[in-house]
Structure 1
Amino acid sequence: MTDNKPLVLDVDGTLLSTDMLYENFWAGLGQNPVATLKATFKHLRNPAALKQELVNVAEVRTDLMPVNTEIKALADETIASGREVVLASASDRVLVARLAQDHGFSKTVFASDGSVNLKGATKAEALVQAYGEGGFHYAGDAAVDRAIWDHADGALIVGKHTSIARDLAAAGKQVAQYPAGWKMRDLLRALRPHQWIKNSLLVLPVIAGHDFTLNTLLMVLLGMAAFSAAASAIYIVNDLLDLEADRLHPKKCARPFASGKVPIPIGMITSLGLGAVALGIGAYLGTTFLMVVILYMALSLAYSLRLKRMRWVDIATLASLYTLRVVAGAAASGVVASGFMLIFIFPVFIALGCVKRLTELTLATSDERLPGRGYGRPDRDDLLNVAGLGAVGALLVFFLYSFSEQATALYPTRWLLWVAMIPLAWWLIRMIRLGYMGKQDYDPIVFALTDKRGIGILMILLSLMFYSAGLWHQWFGF
C-alpha cells in the first residue's frame, strides 16, 4: 500500500488495545458514579448520546490508553512517508480528536457526535463522501467493518477474520492481516490468585478454638473458596476503576486491563460470574456466612469507588476487610470468634494497613501523592506512628486476654501465653520495619504468608500457644 491515499484507522480494538466507551464508563464510575449510572440507564439504547454524556461526566487520559504497537508503528511509517493518517471511530468525537492530537495524526477525524453513531455502513458512507470510492485504506478489527472494507482500496484486518480476508482478496482488494486477541493466562493473572492466600485468615477461629475436625475444616475450605471468588471479582472491579492510576504506576501499568492485554468487557463478565459463585457458595454455607460475604463485597466495592482515596479511612477499611475474613471463618465453621479475638486482630490489621501504605510510599519516586491515594512520602512518619500504636494495642489486648475466663479454660499453662508475646512483638516490629524500608510486597498479608523468616516466627508463636493449651501432649504425648 504505497500510494498516496490516506490510511484511515478505526480506534477501539485497532489503534487502541482497549475501547473508549468502556474506558469512559469506568472512569465515570470512579469520578461520579451516580451521574454515570444515570446516563447509562437513560441512554442505554442510544449509544451516540451515551458516549457524549459520559464524556461530559468524566475526564479520561487518552494519551495513557494502550495502543496496538504494530498498528501504531504502521501509522508512524505512513506519516513519515508523507501520507495522511486519519481516525474514524464510533467513539465520541471529543475523545477521538484528542487521541489524534496525542499521536500526531490528522486533525480531520470521523466520529460519533451525540446523534449519529458512526459505525458500519454509516462510517462507510462518511468516508466515501470524503475520499471517494476506493479512495482510502482502512484498518479495522470487527465484522461490522466489512461495510467499510468493501469501499476501501486496501483492507488492514486486525484479528482473526479469515473468511472476510479471503472474500476481500477475491474481490481484488489489497489485504493485510495483523494479530490481536487476549490470552487466558492474562485473565487469570487479573484474578490475582496469589492473593487468595489471604483467605487463610478464615482458619484463625478454628485455630483459636482448637476445633480441627474434618467437617469443620471442609466448611472453612468452602468459605475460603467463596472469599477467593468474591475477592477476585472485586479485584477486577478495582483494576477497571484504577485504569489511569495503574498506567501511571511503575509496576501496576503491566496489569492486564491497564495494559490492554485483556478487553474490559471480558473483565466485566468474569467479575459478574465470580460474584455469582461467591454468593452461591455463601448461600450453601448459611445465612450468616452469606451476609458476611455480601458485606465484604459491598465494603470492598465502596473501598474501590471512594474509601481508598480517603486518608486513614482507607486503612480502617482495609483492617475491616481483613477482620471480616476472620468473622467469615467463624460463620463457616460454626466456631465462635470471641470478642477478645476480634479486638486483638483489628489493631494488628490497622498496623498492617499502615505497612501497606508505607511500602508504597517508600517505593514511590517523588513526594507527590500516590495516584488514586491520599498519601505522599511526607506522611511516612505519621503512618509509622499509627502502625506502632496498632502493634502496642494488639499486644495489650493479647495480655488482657490471658486473664479472661476463656483463656483460663483453653490455656491451662497461662504463663506460656506471656512468653508467646515475645515472638508476636518480634513479628509485628519486623513487619513494620520492613514496610518502612520498602522491603515488602505491596500487600503485607501476602508477604507475611510467603515470608519464610516471618512464618518461622509465627510458628514459634503457635507452638507456644499450643503447648500452653496442652495440644502437644494431646496429639503427641508430650
Structure 2
Amino acid sequence: MTDPKPLVLDVDGTFLKTDLLFEGFWAGLGRDPFATLGAAARHFRDPARLKAELARIAPLRTDLMPVNPEVADLAAQAQAAGREVCLASASDRTLVTQLATEKGLSPRVFASDGVTNMKGATKAAALVAAFGEKGFDYAGNEPVDRKIWDHAETAIVVGAPAEAQALRARGQAVTECTGGWALKSLWKAIRPHQWVKNVLLILPMIAAHRFELATLVPILFGMMAFSFAASSIYIVNDLLDLEADRLHPTKCRRPFASGAVPIRVGMLAFFGLAALALGIGAALNPGFLGIVVLYMVTSLAYSLKLKRMRWVDIATLAALYTIRVVAGAAAGQVEVSVYMLIFIFPVFVALGCVKRLTELTLAKNDERLPGRGYGRPDRGDLLNVAGLGVFGALLIFFLYSVSDQGRMLYPDTWLLWLAMLPMGWWLIRMVMLGWFGKQDYDPIVFALRDKFGLGILMMTLSLMFWAAGLWAKWFGG
C-alpha cells in the first residue's frame, strides 16, 4: 500500500552537505564584495531579507552543490513508493525552488521569501498547515529542527546522534543518517603541506651568513606565524572558489567544495588561524607584524580580485613569495640586500608562470581556467614571460657578484659565476616541467619535494658557500 505521507527534507546540512546562506555570502564576496558586505551590515537582523539580497547579488549553481547520498537515497525510495518529496528550508525561495527542480523533487517548497524566515516554529506551522499534525516525515540536522520533529510522524536525523537519542527517549520514531565532519578534513583544508614554502624566510639569514641560534629562533617563530597566516588565507581562497573548484577535475574534492567540512567551521578556523598569526607577529617585533598584515591583505586582495586578472595575478604571486623573504629578514633582524630582492622577484615571476603553465597543460580543453584569466592558447606567452624571468634573475645575480657588497661577502667571484650554471639549469628545468605538465599545481611545493632539483640547488648553494670562504672557515683548510 502506498504511504500518502510526504517526506519533507531540510536543505542546509541535510539534503545538501553545505549551507546556501554561507554559499551565497562567499559567492557574493567574490562577485561584488562591497554590495555583499553592505547587505550583510544592513540586514544582519533580518535574515529573510539578507538571504534574498544575497541570492540577487550572486546567483548560485545549486546543481554543483554536494548532496548527502543517504538522504538522496531516502528521497529516491520515497518517490519510488509514490510519496511526495518536498524541500523545506530557511534559505531563499528562489534557490530552494531551483534546487527542487534540478533534483526532480516536488515543485511545492517551503522557504524564506524575503519577509518570512522559514525556520523553527515558523517552518513547523507551515508544514502542519499543509499536511496536518503528524502528517509528514521530516529530515533535519540541527537542534532548531526539534520544533518540526515534534509535529512529524518520523524524525530523520542527519549527523546529530544526541538529537536522535533524545527523540527516541520521548518515544518518537527515528531514522538516522550519517553527517557531520571530521577534524582530519579540516586539517586537509588548512593545507599543512604548503607550510614548506615558508622555508623562504631562512634565505636572508643564509645570504647574510648569520648562522647563529639567536637569528634562527625568531625566524622559526616567523615561519610559524606565516604558516598560520597562509592557512587562514587558503581557507578564504577555497570559500571564494567553491563554484570554480567544483568545476575542476581534482579541486572538486577539496573539503569545502565537497561538503566534507561546513563553511561555518571554515570561517571559525580562519579567524582562529589569523589571530594566531597576528599574535606571534606582535610578539616578535612591530616590523614583522606589519609584514604579516601586508601579506594577509595582499593575499586577500589576490583571492578576491587579483587572481582573475591576467599577468597581475603572476606579479602578485611573485610579490607574495618575495614578502616571505622580507619577513625572514624582519624576524631575524637581518639586513636584506636590495640585490637579493631584485633577484628573487623575477625568479618568482618565472615560477608563477610555471604554475599557470602546469594548470593549462593539464586542462582538458581550450576554455579559460575557472576563476582565472588564462586559456591554453596563452601557454606560449606564459613561456616567454617565464624565460624573461629566468634571464632577468641570472642577469641580476651577475650584477650582484661584481657589486661592492657581493665582492665583500663572496671574495672568489668566479665561483659565483660558476654557481650560475646549476642555478640556470634549475630554473630552466622548472619551466620545462611546467610546460610539459610534469609538476603538481604549486611549483614551490614541488621544488621542495623534487630530489633531483634539490640536488641542483645544493650544488648552487655549495658553490656560493665556497665563494664566501665558508667551507674553509667551518672545516679548515
Under a length normalisation based on structure 2, what TM-score does the superposition of the two structures give? 0.99
- Alignment-derived partner of residue 66 in structure 1: 66
* 8 Å Cα contact 2:185/2:255 also seen in 1: yes
**How far apart, in 1, do the equivalents of 2:2 and 2:223 lie?**
59
* 8 Å Cα contact 1:158/1:178 also seen in 2: yes
After superposition, where does 1:283-294 map in structure 2 within 5 Å?
283-294=282-293
User: Once the 2 structures are TM-superposed, how far is the Cα of residue 81 of structure 1 from its aligned partner?
Assistant: 2.0
* 8 Å Cα contact 1:348/1:394 also seen in 2: yes
Alignment of 1:101 with 2:101, yes or no, is yes
After superposition, where does 1:132-171 map in structure 2 within 5 Å?
132-162=132-162, 164-169=163-168, 171=170
SS for the counterpart of 2:257 is: coil
After superposition, where does 1:415-434 map in structure 2 within 5 Å?
415-434=414-433
Alignment of 1:382 with 2:381, yes or no, is yes
**How far apart, in 2, do the equivalents of 1:414 and 1:433 lie?**
29
- Alignment-derived partner of residue 334 in structure 2: 335
- Alignment-derived partner of residue 455 in structure 1: 454
SS for the counterpart of 2:449 is: coil
**How far apart, in 2, do the equivalents of 1:211 and 1:166 lie?**
62
Q: CA RMSD in A?
A: 1.1
User: Once the 2 structures are TM-superposed, how far is the Cα of residue 170 of structure 1 from its aligned partner?
Assistant: 5.2
- Alignment-derived partner of residue 372 in structure 1: 371
Q: Structure 1 stretches (4+) deviating beyond 6 angstroms?
A: none
SS for the counterpart of 1:400 is: helix
User: Once the 2 structures are TM-superposed, how far is the Cα of residue 2 of structure 1 from its aligned partner?
Assistant: 6.6
**How far apart, in 1, do the equivalents of 2:442 and 2:113 lie?**
44
**How far apart, in 2, do the equivalents of 1:398 and 1:235 lie?**
32
- Alignment-derived partner of residue 210 in structure 2: 211
* 8 Å Cα contact 2:241/2:371 also seen in 1: yes
Q: Could you report, residue by residue, the CA deviation over 1:153-179 in whole angstroms, capped at 9, with x for unpaired residues? A: 1111112243x4345445553211112
Alignment of 1:79 with 2:87, yes or no, is no
Distance 1:180-1:343 versus aligned 2 partners, 3 A rule: same
* 8 Å Cα contact 2:351/2:386 also seen in 1: yes
After superposition, where does 1:394-405 map in structure 2 within 5 Å?
394-405=393-404
Distance 1:435-1:167 versus aligned 2 partners, 3 A rule: closer
- Alignment-derived partner of residue 43 in structure 2: 43
Distance 1:159-1:122 versus aligned 2 partners, 3 A rule: same
- Alignment-derived partner of residue 122 in structure 1: 122
What amino acid is the match of 1:245? A
User: Once the 2 structures are TM-superposed, how far is the Cα of residue 83 of structure 1 from its aligned partner?
Assistant: 1.3
**How far apart, in 2, do the equivalents of 1:2 and 1:81 lie?**
6
**How far apart, in 1, do the equivalents of 2:165 and 2:353 lie?**
59
SS for the counterpart of 2:90 is: strand
User: Once the 2 structures are TM-superposed, how far is the Cα of residue 414 of structure 1 from its aligned partner?
Assistant: 0.7
Q: Could you report, residue by residue, the CA deviation over 1:216-258 in whole angstroms, capped at 9, with x for unpaired residues? A: 0001101100100100000000000000000011111111100
**How far apart, in 1, do the equivalents of 2:330 and 2:59 lie?**
43
User: Once the 2 structures are TM-superposed, how far is the Cα of residue 3 of structure 1 from its aligned partner?
Assistant: 1.8
| Identity of matched residues, % | 68
**How far apart, in 2, do the equivalents of 1:230 and 1:120 lie?**
38
After superposition, where does 1:257-276 map in structure 2 within 5 Å?
257-276=256-275
**How far apart, in 1, do the equivalents of 2:422 and 2:159 lie?**
57
SS for the counterpart of 1:12 is: coil
Aligned residues: 477
What amino acid is the match of 1:42? R
What amino acid is the match of 2:130? A
Q: Could you report, residue by residue, the CA deviation over 1:439-475 in whole angstroms, capped at 9, with x for unpaired residues? A: 0010001111110000000000000000010000011
**How far apart, in 1, do the equivalents of 2:121 and 2:283 lie?**
50
Under a length normalisation based on structure 1, what TM-score does the superposition of the two structures give? 0.98
SS for the counterpart of 1:449 is: helix
* 8 Å Cα contact 2:3/2:81 also seen in 1: no
**How far apart, in 1, do the equivalents of 2:208 and 2:170 lie?**
75
What amino acid is the match of 1:417? L
**How far apart, in 1, do the equivalents of 2:252 and 2:90 lie?**
26
- Alignment-derived partner of residue 32 in structure 2: 32
* 8 Å Cα contact 1:361/1:370 also seen in 2: yes
**How far apart, in 2, do the equivalents of 1:261 and 1:243 lie?**
13
Q: Could you report, residue by residue, the CA deviation over 1:175-206 in whole angstroms, capped at 9, with x for unpaired residues? A: 11112111111101111001000000000101
Distance 1:135-1:359 versus aligned 2 partners, 3 A rule: same
Q: Could you report, residue by residue, the CA deviation over 1:242-280 in whole angstroms, capped at 9, with x for unpaired residues? A: 000000111111111000011111110111111111111
**How far apart, in 2, do the equivalents of 1:408 and 1:37 lie?**
54
* 8 Å Cα contact 2:158/2:176 also seen in 1: yes
* 8 Å Cα contact 1:143/1:161 also seen in 2: no
**How far apart, in 2, do the equivalents of 1:228 and 1:174 lie?**
48
SS for the counterpart of 1:257 is: helix
What amino acid is the match of 1:53? E
- Alignment-derived partner of residue 184 in structure 1: 183
SS for the counterpart of 1:315 is: helix
What amino acid is the match of 2:328? G
What amino acid is the match of 1:317? T
- Alignment-derived partner of residue 413 in structure 2: 414
Distance 1:167-1:409 versus aligned 2 partners, 3 A rule: closer
SS for the counterpart of 1:110 is: strand
- Alignment-derived partner of residue 239 in structure 1: 238
Alignment of 1:220 with 2:219, yes or no, is yes
